[in-house]
Structure 1
Amino acid sequence: MTRWLAALLAGAVFGAGLALSRMTDPNIVLGFLDVAGDFDPRLAFVLAGAVVTTLIAFRLVLRRGRPWLADRFRLPLARTIDPPLVVGALLFGVGWGLAGYCPGPALVGAAAGVDSALIFVAAMLAGSLLQGMTSRGRAT
């Protein structure tokens, strides 16, 4: 139960940060991607803040012997860049560029009842199901 509450709290803080920085507005994201037009640099500041926070926090957290709410750290072991990773990254980027949403802000927008976010989340879930069905039997 403690893990669920910690996950809920972390998700709420993340969602509040997205809402406060207005990253749930796809127009902000699309403005950042429009470097040849009406460029909006706000996303760069949010990204820079996230990178700095992560660089500091990861160093501190990984010094611990284990996480507070788990028996061990579960870090990715794969270090190869393979075709599924590249294709997935390309699809993610194209979807982000077309819709102005990535999963976190889309979920916050959907929770707020934003129509475009609800449509994006439905498409994201459909894509996740399709990926799950097509990757069965393939080693991860």
Structure 2
Amino acid sequence: MVMKLQSCLQLIMVAVGVLVAGQATAASGDTNNTDKIKALDAACPSCVTVANDVMAIRAEHCQLKNTSAEMMISTMRNDPMYGFMQAVDSMVEPATYKTILTAAATQVDCGNPQNWIDMTQKALKKSTQKVS
């Protein structure tokens, strides 16, 4: 039940993030990507924060060199881990989000974002079982 709810929420948050990113892109016309990110940050600050978090993990663990505004937009549109972390951010307190982000940073699979999500969820289940 929890997994189904998480999957549904993840899909909803991905759709919202893509919609907001698309609106910021469309509203900006020919302006540069930095202006698009500024517009997006005004409309959805958590979208930009979560994208920065995912990109920071990729920069540290996956040799991501391009952390440009264009890459941020691409992350929001295409990276399943962004959708997962956006869903998490929308459902939990900031301290819990940071805990889950830390868990995600220890489970990175640079080539397979879905596996990265799965491994993060497994690590979180193990840590909650230890607490119980």
TM-score in terms of structure 1 length = 0.33
Which has more radius of gyration? 1
Larger relative helix fraction: 2
